[in-house]
Amino acid sequence: MPSLFDPIKLGAVTAKNRILMAPLTRARATMDHVPTPMMIDYYRQRAGAGLIISEATGISAQGLGWPYAPGIWNAQQIDAWRAITSAVHEAGGLMFSQLWHMGRLVHPSLPGRDRPLSSSATTMPGLARTYEGKHPYAQAKAMTHDDLRAVITEYRSAAANAMRAGFDGVEIHAANGYLIDQFLRDNANFRTDDYGGSIDDRIRFLVEVTSAVVATVGADRTAVRLSPNEERNGVNDGDPEPLFTAAAGALSDLRLGFLEVREPDFDGTNGRAERPPIAPLMRGAFKGVFVLNSDYDFRKGQAALDQGKADAISFGRPFIANPDLTQRFAKGLALTPDDKATWYTGGATGYADYPAVE
Ligand SMILES: Cc1cc2nc3c(=O)[nH]c(=O)nc-3n(C[C@H](O)[C@H](O)[C@H](O)COP(=O)(O)O)c2cc1C
């Protein structure tokens, strides 16, 4: 059985180990969604990961509703990302860009935004972050077929931009209740056309977006992230096992670089998932590299590899406060706890100021 320290081929690239950095929104870009110099330091420090998956990155202004999150739709953003990917490469790392459309979570008060888009005319519960505090979300517009085509074009162009910016590939963010997940799961999708209703119809948008990205950058530079088992941002499904098994099967046919599945523990110490694990069914349906995420430490991650449950593990929160996480795992060193208070605050504190041990 492979060790977390063994290399692994992820499509077109070979990661030096199986300890991947999960995507982490940190809200350190500018108000115009351009990456900042401190992000160069932050990502360079974490180049010991087998692969860094970038924080979620807007494919268009209309698709991005998180203040100070980065985008990848214009030349300024591409140039700023290039400085980051160069630094990661110089430090011996690899980096994918996580492509993000937030759908109904985009607040129309943000500059240049219209009414949010979603599969159906639903409203995200709770309050949106805006540049002027938190406000109730707006009801989404159910996407027309023209809207669907336009958003798929945005994914294509963002994927091409990511390659121009020097990324090694892209990961389509189809998890956590954002736009693609708003099509997948049945408590947010009430469509009666070819994009709603049956499982085949609900996975259609995911497959079309992924096929478009594959046609743009190649299957071996394309990955997808799914979160089958838990409510996220108000999105959930009544019968997720067949849905996500079918989604994994359809993505398998596209021969992606890898599939990343975020699934919390069901009955472990952090037991938050609502149902027994769905990932094993998805692993059976997906023939490529399978990456598992959520609530792993070194021991549990290695056990998942030993048991054949995954080929690699992505670690999120452990990378926030431990830039040298791979080294610490290798040497059995204690981990620094991260500070939740500085996850999204902007500014230098709690960002690139966590020291490596050596
Ligand atoms: C601060 C923070 C930001 C996150 N941002 C993203 C994101 O941009 N994209 C994404 O897919 N998941 C995001 N997540 C989820 C993480 O990638 C990961 O799934 C989660 O933290 C569980 O993994 P862990 O137990 O290793 O931290 C975020 C989580 C945290 C704590």
**What share of the chain has pLDDT > 70, as a percent?**
99
Q: Give the residue numbers annotated as catalytic, written as ranges.
A: 178
pLDDT, tens digit, for every residue of 227-280?
999 899 999 999 999 999 999 999 999 999 999 999 998 765 555 777 889 999
In terms of residues, how long is the chain?
358
Q: What is the mean pLDDT of residues 216-228?
A: 98
Count of other CB atoms within 10 angstroms of residue 31: 10
User: For residue 331, how many C-alpha atoms fall within 13 Å in the half-sphere facing its CB?
Assistant: 10
**Percent of the chain residues topping a pLDDT of 90:** 95
204-217 vs 240-253: helix crossing angle, rounded to 10: 20
Which range among 59-68, 271-280, 290-299, 310-319 shows the weakest confidence by mean pLDDT?
271-280
Q: Ligand 1 atom 12: the closest Cα is on which residue?
A: 23
**Whole-model pTM above 0.75?**
yes
Residue 51 has pLDDT above 70, yes or no: yes
Atom number in ligand 1 closest to CA 344? 1
Interatomic CA distance for residues 321 and 244, integer angstroms: 32
Residue closest by Cα to atom 21 of ligand 1: 316
Helix or strand run (H / E) with residue 222: strand 222-226
β pairing state of 169-173 and 141-142: unpaired
pLDDT at 230: 86
Q: Looking at residue 268, what is its pLDDT? A: 55
Instruction: Quickly tell me which residue has 């948008």 as its tokens.
Output: 205
Task: Give the C-alpha separation, 44 to 48, whole Å.
Answer: 9
Q: What is the mean pLDDT of residues 211-226?
A: 98
- The Cα 180–Cα 106 span in angstroms is 14
Report the alpha-carbon distance of residue 332 to residue 184 in Å, rounded: 40
The set of residues, in sequence order, having a beta carbon less than 8 Å from that of 241 and lying 6+ positions away, is 275, 278, 281
**Averaged pLDDT score across all residues of the chain:** 96
Between the CA of 243 and the centroid of ligand 1 the distance, in Å, is 23
Could you tell me the pLDDT band of residue 61, with boundaries at 50, 70 and 90? very high
The predicted structure's pLDDT at residue 267: 66
pLDDT, tens digit (0-9, with 9 covering 90-100), for 104-142: 999 999 998 989 999 999 999 999 999 999 999 999 999
Kindly list the protein residues whose Cβ atom lies closer than 6 A to any atom of ligand 1: 22-25, 55-56, 98, 173, 175-176, 225, 262, 293-296, 315-318, 343
